């Protein structure tokens, strides 16, 4: 399937997703004991602690694997040069050098800054087989990665703006 056709299907699916009112899809909350397992204790918090330091949208997306509505996040159309970091712990994740226009309404990148700065986990929610991308340091849900991106990797790291902060000029 051509990348233009794939992008068209993705845009159509995103539009249907938003129109159907499903833009803020949530999975069952991750229990604190499970979400903290295997992550740096310096960057783990209880649910109550995360709620104090994150906005409701950031908390929903990063701690409960929610999804922001397409074309609604502050970084999907950002064209400034800089570095994208995890909103929960500040780990550097992506550079504007690898950001591209996917047409999906979410910030998309063809590679992370360092492969060890993202963790990929099988995600079988919503009756789909996908690969979830989480922060390896704090366990924050960032988005998903797909194999329909541009060269050289042919990957599309489709991230939620609510899971990111942006530092200009790096």
Distance CA 58, CA 155 (A): 25
Q: Is position 48 annotated in a ligand binding site?
A: no
User: In degrees, to the nearest 5, what angle opens at C-alpha 123 toward C-alphas 120 and 124?
Assistant: 160
Q: Is position 135 annotated in a ligand binding site?
A: yes
| Token couple for 165 | 């902060």
Distance CA 65, CA 30 (A): 8
| Token couple for 54 | 């994150």
Residue 126 is classified by DSSP as: G
Burial bucket for residue 156 (CB in 10 Å: 0-12, 13-18, 19+): buried
Q: Is position 138 annotated in a ligand binding site?
A: yes
For the question of residue 158 being annotated catalytic, the response is yes
| Token couple for 142 | 């960032």
Q: Is position 147 annotated in a ligand binding site?
A: no
Catalytic residue among 158, 159, 163, 164: 158
What kind and span of H or E run contains 146?
A: strand 141-146
Residue ranges of the binding site: 86, 89, 135, 138
Query: Known catalytic residues?
Result: 158
Residue ranges of the binding site for Zn(2+): 86, 89, 135, 138
């Amino acid at each position: 399937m051509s990348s233009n056709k794939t992008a068209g299907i993705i845009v159509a699916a995103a539009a249907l997703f938003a129109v159907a009112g499903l833009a803020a899809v949530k999975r069952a909350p991750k229990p604190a004991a499970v979400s903290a397992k295997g992550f740096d204790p310096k960057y783990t918090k209880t649910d109550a602690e995360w709620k104090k330091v994150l906005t409701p949208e950031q908390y929903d997306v990063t701690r409960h694997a929610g999804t922001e509505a397409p074309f609604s996040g502050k970084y999907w159309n950002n064209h400034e040069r800089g570095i994208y970091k995890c909103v929960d712990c500040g780990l550097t994740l992506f550079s504007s050098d690898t950001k591209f226009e996917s047409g999906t309404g979410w910030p998309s990148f063809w590679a992370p800054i360092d492969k060890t700065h993202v963790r990929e986990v099988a995600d079988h929610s919503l009756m789909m087989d996908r690969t979830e991308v989480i922060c390896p340091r704090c366990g924050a849900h960032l988005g998903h990665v797909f194999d329909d991106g541009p060269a050289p990797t042919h990957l599309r790291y489709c991230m939620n703006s609510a899971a990111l902060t942006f530092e200009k000029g790096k």
